[in-house]
Structure 1
């Protein structure tokens, strides 16, 4: 495809990505207000986030497998409709429970948008050329990640929080029209498909059990209780059963053969820490700004700009450097190190930490996420078998989502547990400050005792300082979970094979594989005398035109699916 054709194809895809990102970021700064008005506690706050991440994680590999079997353009349009419809329903929520349910459905659509956008990019842009278009993706990310929290805060302070969920609808309609008009993908050969229903059920049940167990353990039930033991054992048995099933089904949801690829396995390990940092830190830093620094939703959006700025600047600049030189290893090792350092520094924050110092901490963590997040998918696509591009790309996204979901759940549980401990220590001081503040202080203390998240900036002065300090201690403590995982991510990225980026798109690699298969078939046929060589050549040429369009095959890349060198694609 020419540069102009790529830009036309990307226009609808970029708008679709913008819709999914803006619908997520626009509510990030409003969540404390939303949960407060719906009379939810810290557990409800965590589940409003976790429900979306959970269904995103479960649905991502399913969407990825469907992308290898069905029309990718239709699939991404279905995912977009599902995502925005659920967003609109969330706007009518009258309780924390109904909001959590709507957000869960929203996550199914988000999983499709996340997986399919990466897969379609591999169809039309080669790994080496991907950085050339990093500026476009960076601009979309900038508009959504910077503008979303600011817009969400402004909408919450003026129109009310419900409009945060409605704002994506007009953008979604425009994205659907653009996708229909501009996204033209090559036709893949039709074949009989087999959907791994048992794998879908086992994956959904086991991951759900794991996350519910992690989130509620220690608060809703004791860790050593029968309920806890049954949920933990059930999750473990479900995961083992899923792995066994995937070895025997004809079309596995997550082919276990992928884990024989060293690049894929190490990228999966690294993506778990990246997901935790990306989701967990952004959620709880926004809560920190409002609960520990007395910021309004709009102000909280402005105060988290250093982290978002680090993510955007690093992703754009490093993406262009990688595209120019075709080398990625040194950049990603540096990014992983920045993520580890930033994660550690965020565990030291207090309610009165100098904001410029806090900005440096956030920038480092954001820059680390920006360098590693997209490039982990890139290095996997660079070595993946073309016929498994969907499951390979979605596999990395799946484990990143799982890392984010488990991270948010564990961070939320750690925060809630630590908060109860700190409030217990400060009980006498809280009571004294509440009495001194009069009726308003007593009412606020009763609200705190019920577990409902308070609107800290409206609390009386003496009481507010104690609450701000308590939340700061709890949030800083919850960030400790990110530190060891960031170190593991750094080690995994250091161990990744340093394979130069290919110059072929996925479609071109498939064309090469088709040509190689035709040549081998012709060789065998001529040797055995079973078929005429001219007939084989004519049939292969006709099949190639039908399946991959008019794209001429290029020379093969010097690497194999396992990233160890050899010919492009998989040996027939």
Structure 2
């Protein structure tokens, strides 16, 4: 979990420098989207195969894939190789996220699971701040490639520890059939979904043949995936899961939460660097209040879920707190003091931590041990679909708004300079959209720098407010969750049976 979460966040501070060095600002979105897309596709695959064949060899293989992606990234000399590396890391990272949660479900009953799931949420919070800090430290010091090299010894240690210390029941592979057709159809549908959400209104017009074809591909291959699941002997995402009320509600809510959460967190370190002039390390340090919020409320929520009979209220309060944080971030101005930014991210972090692990606990409590991995993988799959959409949509809307605002304001400044008889030579120093990096902005003349940072702020902060309706929808959905008592007792024979129909 630490490896996967750390890798999602470590590039948030390093990315502006990396894409500037590799001349690929226009492809910056894909560095994060490639990881999330690959991880999303693999989540239900790992969940299902872990249920069928046992988790230990699968999680070791996932760490191995993650290790390979890290080496490729460390050696990358172009944006294409960087994006490929992030995709390979995602292929492994999806398994690390799912299987670490499923292993806990193998050995700990739901009633006691909160005490373990809460700290796992805190691990995400720790990675949320240590990732940007390390990314900034590497970028400002020994070089961004160490953000990849760092994973190599950690992954090797993880593999050795898993082989030596993780003892789980062995499974026989006889009689099992992996749903490869469903996996392929799902991968195509998800890829089409991400491409049209990323390119629509940005690279291509919404009514262009390319976007229309991608939308059609999403619908067609999504429908084919549902058909394949209805026919498969061991479906990747069994359709009977959707006959469970709590699974449907928490999964739909997780989709909305994923859009809002990753649409917000991914851009804050870059915002601090561009608008507030932070270096990569400082932008990580300035995000410390967010990790404090996540860690405190995540551990608290896990403890309360195990110690008290009531847990439904925590995701509901989580939505309200996160909405309050988005309101605070949406009201930021380019000249807002730093404490306002930190207060906003702290509140968002507290909201995320309070409900994130409880939703996983609710899903795991609904199904027998033989289906815990599949159900966990399916729930996280839809949350990561939201994360993919959140990163893509926010990135596309932000880039489009920044282009429009910067073009308009530069034109206004040029007209004002011409009307006053001043030479607008300084405007020629303004970087192109594809080349806006913290270093480039810092070198601009004061008047132009203020214009650029103002446009950057005004392009991003309103997007936070546009995410609030999604969390409001999630709140309504979660209000209808039935609060079933958490199961007690040992977990004998976990995963030894096949999925119960």
| Fold agreement, TM-score > 0.5 | yes
Matched, 1:477 2:471: no
The separation in 1 between residues aligned to 2:373 and 2:29, in whole angstroms, is 31
Q: Retained in 2: the 8 A contact 1:199–1:253?
A: yes
Q: Secondary structure at the match of 1:219?
A: coil
What is the match of residue 552 of structure 1?
none
Matches of 1:134 and 1:239, distance apart in 2: 32
Structure 1 residues 65-97: Cα deviation after superposition (integer angstroms, max 9, x where no partner): 111111310100110111122022112222222
User: What is the rounded CA distance, in whole Å, between the counterparts of 1:436 and 1:179 in structure 2?
Assistant: 68
Residue 373 of structure 2 is matched in structure 1 by 390
Larger radius of gyration: 1
Deviations 1:326-367 (A, max 9, x none): 421112211121122222332222212232233222122111
Distance 2:153 2:360 in 1: 30
Following the alignment from structure 2 to structure 1, what is the Cα–Cα distance between the partners of residues 236 and 199?
29
Shift of 1:290: 1.1
Q: Tell me by how many angstroms 1:101 deviates.
A: 1.4
**Residues in 2 aligned to 1:160 and 1:465: alpha-carbon distance in whole angstroms:** 29
Say yes or no: does 1:120 pair with 2:120: no
Match of 2:16 in 1: 32
Q: Distance in 1 between matches of 2:367 and 2:338?
A: 44
TM-score, with normalisation over the residues of structure 2? 0.93
1:438 CA drift (Å): 9.6
Cα RMSD, aligned residues only: 2.4
**Matches of 2:22 and 2:279 in 1, distance apart?**
18
- How far residue 143 of structure 1 moved from its aligned partner, in angstroms, is 4.1
In structure 2, C-alpha distance between the alignment counterparts of 1:499 and 1:274, rounded to whole Å:
22
| Residue 93, structure 1, aligned to residue 76, structure 2 | yes
- Tell me what 1:206 maps to: 189
Q: Is the Cα contact below 8 Å between 1:64 and 1:116 reproduced in 2?
A: yes
**Residue deviations 1:137-158 (CA, integer Å, cap 9, x gap):** 3564454332221122111101
For structure 1, the 5+ residue unaligned runs are 1-16, 515-546, 548-568
Distance 1:433 1:412 in 2: 32
Q: Where does residue 166 of structure 2 map in the other structure? A: 183
The correspondence for 2:364, drawn from 378, 381, 402, is 381
Matching of residue 487 in structure 1 with residue 472 in structure 2: yes
Between the aligned partners of 1:26 and 1:448, the Cα distance in structure 2 is 26
Query: Does the 8 Å CA contact 2:126/2:291 hold for their aligned counterparts?
Result: no
In the alignment, structure 2 segments of 5+ residues that lack a partner are none
Q: 1:468 is matched with which residue: 433, 450, 453?
A: 453
Query: C-alpha separation between the residues in 1 aligned to 2:204 and 2:77?
Result: 27
Q: Distance in 2 between matches of 1:207 and 1:217?
A: 15
Secondary structure of residue in 1 paired with 2:484: coil
TM-score of the pair, normalised by structure 1 = 0.82
Q: Does 1:22 align with 2:6?
A: yes
Residue 443 of structure 2, aligned match among 455, 458, 462: 458
1:497 equivalent to 2:478? Answer no
Provide the rounded CA distance (Å) in 2 between the counterparts of 1:231 and 1:61.
Answer: 23
> How many Å separate the matches in 1 of 2:84 and 2:119?
33
CA 1:471–1:437 in structure 2 vs 1: closer, same or farther (change >3 Å)?
A: farther
Shift of the 433–143 alpha-carbon distance from structure 1 to 2, 3 Å rule, reads: farther
- C-alpha contact (below 8 Å) 1:277/1:369 kept by paired residues: no
Number of aligned residue pairs: give it: 496
Cα distance in 2 for residues equivalent to 1:464 and 1:358: 20
1-side partners of 2:479 and 2:493: how far apart?
Answer: 30
What is the rounded CA distance, in whole Å, between the counterparts of 1:87 and 1:460 in structure 2? 39
Match of 1:522 in 2: none
Q: Could you say which residue in structure 2 is the equivalent of 1:145?
A: 128
8 Å CA contact retained: 1:327, 1:501: no
Query: How far has the Cα of 1:162 moved from its partner?
Result: 1.2
Query: Following TM superposition, by how much is the alpha carbon of 1:386 offset from its aligned partner in structure 2, in angstroms?
Result: 2.3
- Aligned partner of 1:336 in structure 2 is 319
Per mean C-alpha deviation after superposition, the further-off stretch among 272-281 and 204-213 is: 272-281
1:65 pairs with 2:48: yes
Q: Comparing 113-122 with 327-336, which one deviates more in the overlay?
A: 327-336
Matched, 1:107 2:90: yes
* Aligned-partner SS, 2:11: coil
* Cα distance in 2, alignment partners of residues 270 and 421 from structure 1: 33
Tell me how far 1:507 sits from its aligned partner. 3.4
In 2, Cα distance between the equivalents of 1:301 and 1:472?
18
Give per-residue Cα distances to partners, 1:477-523, cap 9 Å, x unaligned: 32244211111111111111111211135436778xx8xxxxxxxxx
